Structure 1
Amino acid sequence: MQSPSRRAFLVGRRAEQSPWDAFLTRLRRVAQGQVYEFSTSAGSARLIPTHMQDVYHARALCHEHGVTLALDGIPSAEVLDDSPVLWVEPGTAMARHERMGPGDSRWFVQPGCLIGELEAAGLPQFRDQPPHLTVAAWLADRRSCDWARGRTADSGLVHALVLLSDGTQANLGAFGVDNRKPLGNMRVQSMIPRLFELSAAMSVPGDDGAVWDSRYRLDALRPAEGRTVNLAHLLLGHGGELGWVEWLVFDERQGSPADRPYESRYGQRPGPDAASQAQDDAVRALFDPDGLFPARGQSF
């Protein structure tokens, strides 16, 4: 019988996998969804998950191998060619949307649901929005979520479950004296005081209703008079830079369409000043201290 060492000598040793190939091999082994590889020098692939377990596996592997986890489908997405990246596209397997009960104005929505489906269902906040976008891409798109300062409640978003870079699930929703559910999560509990400090320190000229120029919606913690603080609104226009959205809840009675045409929003104005940029960086550090998600998900 031929010894293993003799066989290795005759056929040659198997070439050692590159770090990217090792990552991709492990991902294909555990993910039930489709994985497509692109030809780039740094390494790039797309995962279309069949369920959240695929995303959980992808997050863990990306974290271990130093691969960026990026949401696919965001308009004006930043080109990410300098380091390995896994684009994750929530497809039809994660596209459920349904009323939460007979006569209930709230809708449970998964990230792969299309905006056109929500508009057809009668949710007014999705009027004049690109119908081909997934709700995950819509939520990440700063042009789509460009409500005026203090008016984030017009999005009709009332709740979000978000997967953070360390695998923690953050339950984000209304926050006040009568609703402190987010404090049940230790990771989110540690984030909230600092978020409110950043919100209190922000200096944005103009009254409520003025244009919001920063990347992250800290104004959600200082809403217009009569509105409730809602931590889920921090995700509006987040660029795919803060976390992965598992599901959302919208209220059709609270939502209203934006008052500016989609094409004219956000990208036509100057970016944040130095102080706002520092606040944005601080918000991102709270949500993604590991740098798992893109540092800049959109090109504006």
Structure 2
Amino acid sequence: MESSSRRAFLTGRRAAQTPWEQFCRRMRRGVAGDFLDFGLYEGKGSARLTPSQGGDLRLAHALCREFGIVLALSGVNQADSLTGQSVLWMELDGSMAGCQPLPDDPGKWFVQPGTHLSELVDAGLTQFADQPGYLTVAAWAADRSLCSWAPGEAFRCGLLHASVLMADGSSAVLGPFGAGNRLPLGTLTLQKLVPQLFALAAEEPAAGFAALDRWPARYRLDALAPRPGHDVNLSHLLLGHGGDLGWIEWMVFEARPPLPSADWATAYTSRPPAGDDSRWQQASTLDRKVKTLFDPAGVFPDPGQDL
């Protein structure tokens, strides 16, 4: 039998794998879902994962952190966010879907991120009746145009709790945080993050933005300043997040009246209104601070979606 050393001598040693090849090899070996490598272009790689279970998401997240690859939600406008970076697109399908009523909490539903909005409506979550039924709930939650309600009015969507995979790999459950319903900050990451976010929300420009008819920044820090009569809900920080701040693992909703359809004439655009450069610059600075607090290492897209 020919020895491996003789074979290597005759054929030449295989070139060492590039970091992208190493990443793809470990993804193929570790995930149960479908992984497709689109290859390299100008030295940067692109691939797609259709996960079949939560373990696929966690492995992908860990490897993206290790290799410096952006983890991006497919189906969200990422046109200007990934220049010069390798990226793994996460595409959700029916294997990560489901909407079940909570047995011990009537009127509330446990929802997985790949569930389509039309399925939520069929289950009884009528607030999504006028929303695009083909979207997954993860894509809806990431879309800033569909989550563009007035400052302090995120309660309209009926989101009560959300579990999010943070940039550092920890899982955090976000939910009500009012005086009479204080959800414990169960991770060290949250214990550090939440007070910093409250401090930002209490300062200018965020404090002034909360009084406007329309929230001008990307990230909905106004979730920490809800309308009178409503408690803070930390899960509302993820609404309209563009896929930039974390990965939503599951959500809990209650039924609410139908949400209004997006006003596309005034929806978020990449340009500030005429004569409003100062506010746009303030909003951009605020967004950078929020993004840095959530994702200092840049695991998720930046910025992820045009204003």
Please give the range of the TM-score, normalised by the shorter of the 2 chains.
Answer: over 0.9
Please name the residue that 1:137 is paired with: 139
Please name the residue that 1:219 is paired with: 222
Please name the residue that 2:276 is paired with: none
Aligned residues: 299
CA RMSD of aligned residues (A): 2.2
1:171, CA displacement in angstroms? 0.9
1:208, CA displacement in angstroms? 5.1
**In 2, Cα distance between the equivalents of 1:239 and 1:34?**
24
Partner amino acid, structure 2, of 1:105: G
Return closer, same or farther for 1:216/1:182 CA change in 2, 3 Å cut-off: farther
Give the counterpart of 2:272 among 270, 273, 298. 270
Matched position secondary structure for 1:43 = strand
1:147, CA displacement in angstroms? 1.0
TM-score (norm 1): 0.92
Name the stretch that deviates more: 229-238 or 15-24. Answer: 15-24
Matched position secondary structure for 1:295 = coil
1:299 counterpart = 2:306: yes
**In 1, Cα distance between the equivalents of 2:35 and 2:117?**
25
1:260, CA displacement in angstroms? 4.7
Question: For the Cα contact (< 8 Å) 2:270–2:306, is it kept in 1?
Answer: no
Deviations 1:233-266 (A, max 9, x none): 000100000000000011104x541365456522
Partner amino acid, structure 2, of 1:227: H
Matched position secondary structure for 2:293 = helix
Identity rate of aligned residues, in percent? 47
**In 2, Cα distance between the equivalents of 1:268 and 1:67?**
25
Partner amino acid, structure 1, of 2:303: R
Please name the residue that 2:235 is paired with: 232
Return closer, same or farther for 1:102/1:184 CA change in 2, 3 Å cut-off: closer
Question: For the Cα contact (< 8 Å) 1:72–1:88, is it kept in 2?
Answer: yes
Name the stretch that deviates more: 154-163 or 120-129. Answer: 120-129
Partner amino acid, structure 1, of 2:140: W
Unaligned runs of 5+ in 2: 274-278
1:267, CA displacement in angstroms? 3.1
Please name the residue that 2:159 is paired with: 157
Question: For the Cα contact (< 8 Å) 2:160–2:175, is it kept in 1?
Answer: yes
Please name the residue that 2:176 is paired with: 174
Unaligned runs of 5+ in 1: none
Question: For the Cα contact (< 8 Å) 1:150–1:209, is it kept in 2?
Answer: no
1:2, CA displacement in angstroms? 4.6
Question: For the Cα contact (< 8 Å) 1:149–1:219, is it kept in 2?
Answer: yes
TM-score (norm 2): 0.90
